[in-house]
Amino acid sequence: MGNAILVITFLGTSAAIPTKHRSLPSIHVKLDKTAILLDCGDGTTKRIVDSGRSIFKINAVLLSHLHSDHLFGLPALWNSMSLLKRTQELQIYGPKGTFETIRKLMDVDSREIPFVISIKDLEPNDTFNIGKVSVSCAKAEHGVPALAYRLESDGKSMVYTGDTKPSKNIEKLAKDANVLIHDSTFLSPNDAERYNHSTPEQAAKVAKNANVGKLVLTHLSQKHRNPTDFIEQARTNFDNVILAEDLMTIDVGDM
């Protein structure tokens, strides 16, 4: 393994409806001096402040898909960046339709953004670099254009599924990753199938088949009141599993 440090901070771990303890989806990743946001739900900017991470130093945002609970935090984010006198380019990536959607959000804002926002639509299996971080993506199964992402640098790797049903494409993407962050919205397979999400049991099967180091369950429906139910269900298939909580940090370090 290399010397890169991988630090993952969960900013929002709820599904589409926030709760008293869980904000809408967003994850801050620091890998090899590069800071990346995975999704940016409403309230993300405040959660970044709460976490002690820097709003100013975020290099890029990767959107898993274009549902509002995953991207409506962007105007607040770039507004705060503007007020902090940012001049560095902000990169935004996502599935087909991202460019058009982000441009609409920018047009709604009455303030002029004083830095370049570079927007790129991706296709499944695209690869690119953000700083020294290698990014690859795969098709996620959510009923709309959706992507899962793998971030890798100097021997450290993590995969974020976004919203998805269990997928062989994601299994392949996650092969031997240090950390897999997987949609685990519903405890019921029927609910998961109906809304194109996963159960903890299904997420754990993906983790086991992909031989990942650690599984993190996130995007948790507010209808389920007992967090331990998610862990218990997942551990029928995979032992090294934890439940994401808002402001929780995983430091992969030299693992």
Q: Which of 39, 69, 163, 183 is catalytic?
A: 69
CA distance 73 to 83: 16
Residue 235 and residue 241 in contact, taking contact as beta carbons nearer than 8 Å: yes
The set of residues, in sequence order, having a beta carbon less than 8 Å from that of 208 and lying 6+ positions away, is: 237, 238
Closest by alpha carbon to 40, among 15, 16, 11? 11
Verify whether residue 42 is a known catalytic residue.
Answer: no
CA distance 195 to 109: 32
Give the count of alpha carbons within 13 A of 88, CB side only: 11
DSSP state of 238: -
Pick from 237, 235, 243, 242: which is nearest to 219 by CA? 243
Please tell me the distance from the alpha carbon of residue 126 to that of residue 148, in angstroms, as a whole number: 11
By the 8 A CB rule, do 230 and 216 touch?
Answer: no
Give catalytic residue positions. Answer: 69
